[in-house]
Amino acid sequence: MIGIGVSKWELDTPALCVDLDKLDQNLTTMKAKLASTGVATRPHAKTHKCPAIAKLQLASGSIGICAAKVSEAEALFAGGVDKILMTTSNVTANKIRRAMKIREANTSFIQAVDYAPNARDLNDAAKEAGIAADVVIDVAVGTRSGVPAGRQALELAQLVDQLPNLTLRGMISYDGGAQHIKGFKTRLERSLKNYEPSVQTFEMMKKAGLNTEIFSGGGTGTTTS
Ligand SMILES: Cc1ncc(COP(=O)(O)O)c(C=O)c1O
């Protein structure tokens, strides 16, 4: 943490200024809130883009850190953060190779995929790197991103499971819009309704004997009352 104790008027901009007491309080609140639920946190680093904060989140009990872009994942990894899950597919061959470089160096790296050709490209890149890449399928809620829930998602999960250089770890499914709804009750109702197809997909995967150890959804916004 560079700049602790330095006057804000002396900071070079852009500068990320953090109230460490508030940050600490937020970490404690989130941990306490989820303690009895059996739900783990894997916070998204796109909100802070800061390895130091990611490390604090991991130290307070988060099971991993999410990254939206391969450049974010690289910066986190270079900053000493592991257990990174990339929530978006890497599309170009260059970015897939870069993601697989992180996976080569760190076995806890997990990559989301949401369509079959991308899973095949990822499998080829993993093969070239001599590794098996850990993968979650991204199941769509509405139109944000991801493979449509249901049969298409199941088929993608089966493909990932069958490709020799991929290891299926489960699914992610994120209702981004729900984070912004005011009022816990309304947000809960919408979330339960919108996640129904994702839950059905999870059950279909389980029934098909696929690995469902990860079922990730929700976010900071859906936990607040
Ligand atoms: C795929 C995905 N999952 C979860 C989240 C929630 O992140 P957080 O828990 O840090 O709010 C986000 C944030 O946009 C996301 O893109």
Closest residue to atom 13 of ligand 1, CA basis: 44
Q: Residues 183-205: pLDDT tens digits?
A: 999 999 999 999 999 999 999 99
**CB 178, CB 191: distance < 8 Å:** yes
CATH superfamily of 87-218: Alanine racemase (3.20.20.10)
Q: Which amino acid is at 137?
A: I
Closest CA to 92 of 71, 61, 106, 67: 71
Phi, psi angle pair for 176, to nearest 5°: -55, -40
Write the CB contacts of 8 (distance below 8 Å, at least 6 apart in sequence).
17
Ligand 1 proximal residues by C-beta, below 6 Å: 43-44, 47, 66, 87, 172, 174, 176, 219-220
pLDDT tens-digit series, residues 31-81:
999 988 989 999 999 999 999 999 999 999 999 999 999 999 999 999 999
pLDDT tens profile 96-153: 999 999 999 999 999 999 999 999 999 999 999 999 999 999 999 987 789 999 999 9
- pTM for this entry: 0.93
